[in-house]
Structure 1
Amino acid sequence: MRRFGRILVAGALAAGLTIPAGAAAAAPPADGGTGWHVGIAPLATKWTSKVGPDNALPEYPRPQLTRDKWQNLNGVWEFARADAGQAVPAGQTLGERVLVPYPIESALSGIQRHEDRMWYRRTFTVPKNWKVGEGQRLQLHFGAVDYDAKVFVNGTQVATHRGGYDGFDADVTDALQGTGTQELIVWAEDLTDATGQPIGKQRRTSDHGIFYQGSSGIWRTVWMEPVPVAAVTGLSTTPDVAGGALKLTATVANGAGLKVKAVARDGNKVVGTVTGAPGTELRLAVPKPKLWSPDNPFLYDLQVTLVDGGNKTVDTVGSYFGMRQIGTAKGADGKLRIALNGKILFNLANLDQGFWPDGLYTAPTDAALKWDLEQDKAMGFNAVRKHIKVEPDRWYYWADRLGLMVWQDMPAANTGPIPEAWRGQFESELHEMVREHSSFTSIVAWVPFNEGWGEWDRAATGRIADDVKAQDPTRLVDAHSGVNCCNSHGDSGRGDVVDFHQYLGPASPAPAGDRVSIDGEHGGYGLKTSNHMWFGDGQAYEMEPDSATLTRKYVENQEAVITSAKRCGISASIYTQITDVEAELNGFFTYDRQVTKMDLKQVKKVNQKIIAQADGSITDIPQPLPGTPGLTGVTFYPLDEANGTVAADTVAGNNANLVGGAAFVPAHNANGVSLDGATQYLDTGKPLLNTASDYSAAAWVKLDRADGGFQTVVSQDGPSNSDFYLQYSGADQRFAMSFAGVRALAPVKPNVGQWYHLVGVRDTVKGELRLYVDGELAGTASACLPQSGPTGNTVIGRGKYGGNPVDYLDGTVDQVHLYDRALGADEIRQLYTSNN
């Protein structure tokens, strides 16, 4: 039990708990005689005290398939820990009380602990006017149970389900006993990160880092409703903007001989109707459609009726839809970009984890669920990335209503490769997520993998992306967000998106072929806020001392997004994140949503500027001066001295000092310099390359080792990191021309003891780095962001990273040339063959 932050229950003082200065105890909901009591958590939201036994998420939970008659089964249930293989406790009162639908680890549940297995029990009565058994059937619905579930009515098993993020139903009519009280029991098992199941950021024990407290058991609304024997069981809607129609498929149970009639309305005005067979795609005309967009999130009302041969109504459901088209288009700069309704629109998104200090996976109220999205809109964002979690339907309903484009992640399994036995389950849940959410207007992209978490094979990732695209060709597919990061197996080349992560960023990948590029995660600036931190402390990618500094850092970082969009062609950026979460303190708001951490007027101003300017219009890229002609360069170190501690520059007299005992030795062409990989290097004493323009660096090098350590051949010191690195990349065990976080890599590992000729080229016009090995192009990398001018010395044989000297060369270097321009391929080949 923690004693910092805000207190969730009355009675805290009587229990000897301390309330920190500036915090207030939330008034507890009365238990209503149920025996349920809210638990204690470090933080309370402003909605915590509004939750009680009689109002636990009372809203109809399925806004795209509504019915007039229904009964909410949320509220206080009996609860008990379950043992493996235990008999169903039918007819037995369970010893604890839990508030459904809050996961059992949450304070709002009243249990506030993890159990691998659990029992839920309650009774219910079917209203007599529902006429169940007299042409009506009773449907029982579960929004989500994490993870395996079995459902029993009056001791009869009526459903079993695996998967923590999708809903399931059961027709329980035949299990009812008379018209009186009925017994409902749910068994659930959730082993979380002990298995290969999809879990997102859940862990049984928070790591005080980027993973959080798990959420087990029932965590979305449970409800029941009467439906006719012949009934509409599902609706699939897809807008066809170009064709001025809505594609509609109604799934119907026992629909033989019946017809589906659909009516679309704009307020009270009928805009289109269609009649056709159940289970077939119908085209509902929507002439001159009002298009949905973040600036005008217009939605049509939809009524679908099932009728018999005499046109008598058998069943009726309500729904809604928006008319919009997501795709790609080339800007005036020739780069492929994301387009909404045929017009380029930059997707400016916030990262949204979907965790709450009182309800964990479940927002305390519908108003709370809506609040996060309202803040996104108020801050000038037009999109949100739902990060490796799937929300209740009402979250997407509010995104539809408010006008936010949603990038929807598939919840990851653990960070390592998914065990083979679980891979089919992962894919099944992925496709079920797409199926269940395919009619929400706000969703514009599917993201199967994040940073390689769970990936087991690059080809398999590409196939999965293709499978999702085949299932839903109307949206973008981002095969792997953060393909440059962490556990990624590399770019499969599939999907519609090239997605890089970079903290603090922004990331700046370039569009490739028929794929747009985005910055999938960046930012992460943090601020500590007393009495509003889950663990009483925490961290971020960079901590700031106060709100003013945090705001300034955000604005500067977002200004760089504009540069990345104009120079590199990114179509979206996703900032981390809407709120703090547990130990992560990088939110616009504290985890309890009580404190605003930035000046939101400045936030909104820069956000609106990004959307307005990142439109693919032509940006004048400064053209570099032609530079010094010839292959000698602006500086040339032959390194042919027989002895001494100075290497002569035969062009401009910028001699280099040998540091740490580096020595001249026989090398590729006469002599060179031998370096020990620990302390030795050559220091030119000044910056010799203008890094704000084009440049090239060339050298002969022989490695004495080629392992997992980095080794630098030529670099130039920057304020914190080297401006560039002509290097051996230990992470890849290949030669590279690099910026920090960006590498143009050779295809194979070099041999120890063999001489190689390396040339690294910075091309500002093409926005790339190029590496040549032995006269041939070996690798390229997008490096489209402009660099600042030089600040530190050009050095041979070491690099700089995080403010420290690093990556000393273990080998011999010879014939070092520096150029004030981007060398061409023919020149590089000529330089190589000349042996100079």
Structure 2
Amino acid sequence: MNLRHRLTAVVVAGLLTATALAGRQATAQQIDEPAWQPGTPPLSTPWTDDVSPSNALPEYPRPQLTRSKWQNLNGLWEFAPAAAGEAAPIGKTLAERVLVPYPIESALSGIQRHEDRMWYRRTFTVPSGWQGQRLVLHFGAVDYDAKVWVNGRQVATHRGGYDGFDVDVTNVLRRSGPQELIVWAEDLTDETFQPIGKQREVGDRGIFYQGSSGIWRTVWMEPVNTSAIDRLQLTPDLATSTLRITADTSGPVGLDVEATAYDGRKVVGTVRGKAGTELRVPIPNPKLWSPDNPFLYDLKVRLIDRGRTVDQVGSYSGMRSVGKLKGADGKLRLALNGKILFNLSTLDQGFWPDGLNTAPTDEALRFDLEQHKVLGFNTVRKHIKVEPDRWFYHADRLGLMVWQDMPSSKTDAMPEPWRAQFKAELHEMIEEHKSFTSITAWVPFNEGWGEWDLAETGRIADSVKAQDPSRLVNAHSGMNCCNSKGDSGRGDMIDHHAYLGPATSSPAGDRVAVDGEHGGFGLKTADHMWFGDGFAYEMTPDQATLTRRYVENQRDVLRSANTCGISGSVYTQITDVEGELNGFFTYDRQIPKMDFAQVRAVNESIITGADGTGTSGPPPPAGTPGADGIHFYPLDGTTEDAVGNNDATLQGGATFAEGKNGQGVALNGSSQFIDTGAQLLDTSGNYTATAWVKLNKADGSFQTVVSQDGDRDSAFFLQYSGQDQRFAMSFPGQRALAPTKPNPNQWYHLTGVRDAAKGELRLYVDGELAATKSACSLDATSTGNTVIGRAKFGGNSVDYLDGTVDQVHLFDRALGPEEVRSLYASGR
């Protein structure tokens, strides 16, 4: 479904009369009274004071389809709140002044408050040089529902806050003089399930931010002929050394199109054929676009009617391919131009303290992308927001790959009336942006926000791939997190989020593994915080510590890449945003928060070192043979280690009770556990933990049977997962889950296996394999104690066992199925 369409005021378009007025980028009539004043933002950026009614985003807004004649309608408009069902204020002056295109909640708009419904009004005149042509108004984006009137006639309606729409107003224009333009907008933000991304009507001081309503991208107009080029679809094809191009046109059908590609002033290739059909421009020996060399070919496209050029536009494109390749280690990885290339990204939210959804200036819009290059990143994940076309133009020119998210609705499952709208806006987003060279991946869902059905998530991913086979599809970033319904098995990526991380997932089948979000280290910066305070996933006291923690974390990214096989990572985030203080810059972009030289050095080491050449290290040792393992706690009235030399102790008043085989230890689920007093397992290699366990209850609480403490979290958890109400062998965020819920007051034999060579976790229940989970651990520094009956998570002791445990074995090798079956049969 194509939401962006040419909306025509009447059925048959007329032509502009010769009595209209002229000029290229002419200054449209502005409203003088009452005076406009910008609001005072909580924070000001370096560009806040550069904004005025005379220069509100004056740049050409559509860089991939350019014409010489156009007029910007940004600037001062009249403004008023609106009531539901209220008639358009035709011919009436509105009381307030708003600076378009800054959303009304922003300081730069001059309004700086939210309204559910609103009116915009202004007048414009038509340049005299545009006679004999049609007049098209372009709205970059209006959040969320919009209606448009020109000279008292309603000419358009549109739904969608992140895509644009056009309207042909030729036949409602007056013959001369001022033309009245009125826009109505309604934005209920999080009162509905409309796609909103991180917007909320009121920011929550957490991970959601102040919403943006009304007109928030450039409004402009241009003259076009009866026959005109409306859109270019551009797809590079390295296999044939051609640029595939389709010119979508309006007016009579059957006209010819001629497209010419240039390297500077040199003609590279030309093709001619019918409009609306796919043509191929030859690009011999193409110069490939990449982050290191973002070369772009210029394009000129003509629409020809019986030998006469009736329209001509300019454009550009890069030649590159996006795909997947196996490295020397056999793991599937992301590739660009037929070579493995690690996608090193930040999470880019795209919010501004002065303009909210809208960057104050084009220089500001470009700044964040430029800093990605300074910091050594080659990718940007545009997080549940869609930017104006000029943002993608800057990414194309700077050489940054883009993972483009679909803006989510609220975090709850989307109800039926909104699902079709979400899908329509998703496909329109792709349609409008699929010619930008920088975009390499589409991301329909984030962490399950709005997700309503796992099978439907897979179908949506398939539909995106069918719409654009030239790019990768990340069906669900953070499929392991939050509101996610799990892994649909579709798309090109297995994307896990891990704070602090990084994620340690591995490629499987025809899907690469990526870390869609990690990091989030924070630092408070006095006088540069939106709320005067804030949070991060881990706060640090100073710049040196923040930089050190970032470098350590990125070194783990490199280890995860070479050990586990992730081929992309997304660090949170490029700037602070409102309550989040985990940026490279403060929210106002005034203060760098890390030592950028160290950041760039470690980032470059990842891009050059994470190439799949098989640097994961030697295989783990074979381990100690024997049926009892390296430590064995029979728990028959004593906590003696029957095999090793690490006798345990009862903690919190734990007592002996009837066990599976003789006695065991009864634990109360709140404070009691068994402490072995030492690190008994090397969690960087293979290991196995087994125990008999009887639960007193099987509800929504987590209960851990055996674990080993790490600095922050347990290195592993042999547990009952309360979230899933099943037994599991787990790493943080990854669980090999038994298929059924256990019964309270029944003995079970649990075996948790870590097979480092295969990169997987295995869970056995009563001697039989119950679950396998692909998992790769980086925890080679777990020096905490091995414990029975509790775990550690987030630095705290948690998940105490409410039940009885018996016959605990620890092995320094990965037991095979026959060994597990034999151990279960022995009752030990």
Partner residue in 1 for 2:144: 147
CA distances 1:500-524 after superposition (whole Å, capped 9, x unpaired):
1111111111111100010000111
Partner residue in 2 for 1:307: 304
Which shows bigger deviation, 628-637 or 454-463?
Answer: 628-637
Q: 1:430-509 maps to which residues of 2 (within 5 A)?
A: 430-509=426-505
Partner residue in 1 for 2:4: none
CA contact (8 A) 2:382 2:404 kept: yes
Q: 1:740 Cα shift?
A: 2.8
Please, which of 607, 613, 621 is the counterpart of residue 611 of structure 1? 607
Matches of 2:72 and 2:278 in 1, distance apart? 32
Q: Read off the aligned partner of 1:42 and give its amino acid letter.
A: P
Q: Read off the aligned partner of 1:98 and give its amino acid letter.
A: V
Matches of 1:432 and 1:703 in 2, distance apart? 52
Which shows bigger deviation, 646-655 or 271-280?
Answer: 646-655
Matches of 2:291 and 2:503 in 1, distance apart? 24
Partner residue in 2 for 1:4: none
Partner residue in 2 for 1:126: 126
Q: 1:246-261 maps to which residues of 2 (within 5 A)?
A: 246-261=243-258
CA contact (8 A) 2:710 2:781 kept: no
Identity, in percent, stands at 70
Matches of 2:292 and 2:171 in 1, distance apart? 49
Q: 1:32 Cα shift?
A: 7.1
Q: 1:26-425 maps to which residues of 2 (within 5 A)?
A: 35-131=35-131, 134=132, 136-309=133-306, 311-425=307-421
CA contact (8 A) 2:563 2:616 kept: no
CA distances 1:435-481 after superposition (whole Å, capped 9, x unpaired):
00000000000000101000011111111001101100110100110
Matches of 1:48 and 1:438 in 2, distance apart? 32
Partner residue in 1 for 2:549: 553
Q: 1:702 Cα shift?
A: 1.2
Aligned residues: 799
Task: Say which SS state the counterpart of residue 372 (structure 2) adopts.
Answer: helix
Matches of 1:606 and 1:32 in 2, distance apart? 54
Please, which of 801, 813, 817 is the counterpart of residue 793 of structure 2? 801
CA contact (8 A) 1:141 1:169 kept: yes
Unmatched segments (≥5 aa) in structure 2: 1-29
Provide closer, same or farther for how the CA distance between residues 366 and 409 of structure 1 changes in structure 2, counting only shifts above 3 A: same
Q: 1:31 Cα shift?
A: 10
Task: Say which SS state the counterpart of residue 778 (structure 2) adopts.
Answer: coil
Matches of 1:377 and 1:147 in 2, distance apart? 33
Q: TM-score, normalised by structure 2?
A: 0.95
Matches of 1:164 and 1:789 in 2, distance apart? 48
Provide closer, same or farther for how the CA distance between residues 726 and 305 of structure 1 changes in structure 2, counting only shifts above 3 A: same
Which shows bigger deviation, 592-601 or 442-451?
Answer: 592-601
Q: 1:762 Cα shift?
A: 1.7
CA contact (8 A) 2:105 2:113 kept: yes
Task: Say which SS state the counterpart of residue 111 (structure 2) adopts.
Answer: coil
Q: 1:583 Cα shift?
A: 1.1
Q: 1:194 Cα shift?
A: 0.4
Q: State yes or no: 1:517 paired with 2:513.
A: yes
Q: Read off the aligned partner of 2:570 and give its amino acid letter.
A: I
Provide closer, same or farther for how the CA distance between residues 189 and 778 of structure 1 changes in structure 2, counting only shifts above 3 A: same
Give the CA RMSD over aligned residues: 1.5
Q: TM-score, normalised by structure 1?
A: 0.94
CA distances 1:7-44 after superposition (whole Å, capped 9, x unpaired):
xxxxxxxxxxxxxxxxxxxxxxx997662111111111
Which shows bigger deviation, 518-527 or 627-636?
Answer: 627-636
Provide closer, same or farther for how the CA distance between residues 374 and 698 of structure 1 changes in structure 2, counting only shifts above 3 A: same
Partner residue in 1 for 2:6: none
Matches of 1:313 and 1:464 in 2, distance apart? 41
Matches of 2:347 and 2:449 in 1, distance apart? 17
Q: 1:678 Cα shift?
A: 2.4
Q: Read off the aligned partner of 1:35 and give its amino acid letter.
A: A
Partner residue in 1 for 2:632: 636
Task: Say which SS state the counterpart of residue 411 (structure 1) adopts.
Answer: coil
Q: Read off the aligned partner of 2:125 and give its amino acid letter.
A: T
Task: Say which SS state the counterpart of residue 239 (structure 2) adopts.
Answer: coil
Partner residue in 2 for 1:22: none
Partner residue in 2 for 1:762: 754
Provide closer, same or farther for how the CA distance between residues 317 and 465 of structure 1 changes in structure 2, counting only shifts above 3 A: same
Q: Read off the aligned partner of 2:807 and give its amino acid letter.
A: Q
Partner residue in 2 for 1:728: 720
Task: Say which SS state the counterpart of residue 605 (structure 1) adopts.
Answer: helix
Provide closer, same or farther for how the CA distance between residues 41 and 725 of structure 1 changes in structure 2, counting only shifts above 3 A: same
Partner residue in 1 for 2:650: 658
Which shows bigger deviation, 625-634 or 504-513?
Answer: 625-634
Matches of 1:789 and 1:74 in 2, distance apart? 57
Task: Say which SS state the counterpart of residue 43 (structure 2) adopts.
Answer: coil
Please, which of 689, 695, 705 is the counterpart of residue 703 of structure 1? 695
CA contact (8 A) 2:556 2:778 kept: no
Partner residue in 2 for 1:773: 765
Partner residue in 1 for 2:14: none
Matches of 1:354 and 1:719 in 2, distance apart? 34
CA distances 1:748-777 after superposition (whole Å, capped 9, x unpaired):
211112211111112222222221111122
Which shows bigger deviation, 270-279 or 679-688?
Answer: 679-688
Please, which of 602, 626, 629 is the counterpart of residue 598 of structure 2? 602
Task: Say which SS state the counterpart of residue 300 (structure 2) adopts.
Answer: strand
Provide closer, same or farther for how the CA distance between residues 40 and 661 of structure 1 changes in structure 2, counting only shifts above 3 A: closer
Q: Read off the aligned partner of 1:50 and give its amino acid letter.
A: D
Unmatched segments (≥5 aa) in structure 1: 1-29
Q: 1:349 Cα shift?
A: 0.6
Q: Read off the aligned partner of 1:184 and give its amino acid letter.
A: L
